[in-house]
Amino acid sequence: MTAVTTDAAAPDARQAGRWVYVSAVALLCAWVLVPLYFLLINTLSSPETVNSFPKPFIPEFDLGSLTFFANFAGMLTALKNSVLVAALTMIMSIAIGAPAGYALSRFDFHGKELFRLLILLTRAFPLPLLALPLAVMFIRTGLDDTVFGLALVHTTLAIPFAVLITFALFSGIPLELEEAAWTLGCTRLTAFSKVVLPLILPGITASAIFAFVISWNEVFAAAVLTIENRTLTAFLLQNLDTSPLHLKFAGGFILVVPALIFIFAVRKYLFAMWGIANR
């Protein structure tokens, strides 16, 4: 009798677990997609509709809010600064992080584990705590209110991710591949460029994506270290109290959509990155 009851209860438990899983996935999707949908509706509606109540559930496909955003004084300059800072951050974080990840993966040296811990600890200090020393140092060195200076700060935020991601990927590529290339007459540099680099390219791309998104969304350092050359996030924060509602929705749309498009466009590299890391 007990065995029959247990066998009958097992499908019910599996069915309940499946419903819990489906409900959790649906809740997570709604948590992410519903705000994005309402952001899209208000961005593609006229300024009058955005400021009215109740809100529509279908966009009007009116470009009045985006036109107002583009014509707002200083907005396009801030958008250009965001693109430049994110691009510089992406380049510098990969140029520094990838060699560090390769060295951690291929060489044994004293303090290796401590070095990895210190890389993680760079994210342990809250950025507001470092704001005053950074501002003073940047003013003394002439890097304040510059695109390059802000890109340096964003690079320090992105480097830990670049180092740890590339370290995991280099560790997933057998050293024997490089050694075989050495026996065939390749130097360490040519073996890396012809054997390892093609395999690691998806991971490099994924690291660049993370660096770009980190810089694109960062607001505190941009607000503290810039005055005239503000990025889009800092510019929107500066005008948050005085700007109209439709400008806020248009600015949020411009901030969210490029990052989403960037990630979806290179999602195959993200999947390839995890495949290499798990080998």
247: DSSP letter? H
pLDDT band at 9 (very low <50, low <70, confident <90, very high): low
3-state SS, residue 70: helix
* 142: number of Cβ within 10 Å: 9
% residues pLDDT > 90 (the chain)? 11
pLDDT band at 271 (very low <50, low <70, confident <90, very high): low
Per-residue pLDDT reduced to its tens digit, 21-42? 889 989 988 888 888 888 888 8
* 51: number of Cβ within 10 Å: 12
Q: What is the pLDDT of residue 277?
A: 47
CA angle 212, 217, 28 (to 5 degrees): 100
The residues, ordered by sequence, that sit 6+ positions from 56 with a Cβ below 8 Å of its Cβ are 41, 45, 49
Return the percent helix, strand and coil in the chain, to nearest 5. Answer: 80, 0, 20
Q: What is the pLDDT of residue 90?
A: 92
Burial of 55 (0-12, 13-18, 19+ CB in 10 A): exposed
Q: Mean of the pLDDT values across residues 61-87?
A: 86
The residues, ordered by sequence, that sit 6+ positions from 252 with a Cβ below 8 Å of its Cβ are 39, 43, 236
Are 65 and 128 a contacting pair, CB within 8 Å?
A: no
More confident residue, 263 or 205: 205
Q: Which class is 74-277 in CATH?
A: mainly alpha
Q: Which of 203, 215, 116, 102 is nearest to 158 (CA)?
A: 215
% residues pLDDT > 70 (the chain)? 90
Q: What is the pLDDT of residue 152?
A: 92
Per-residue pLDDT reduced to its tens digit, 110-150? 888 888 888 877 777 777 777 788 888 888 888 888 999 99
The domain spans of the chain are 6-65, 74-277
Q: Mean of the pLDDT values across residues 251-277?
A: 70
pTM, two decimal places:
0.80
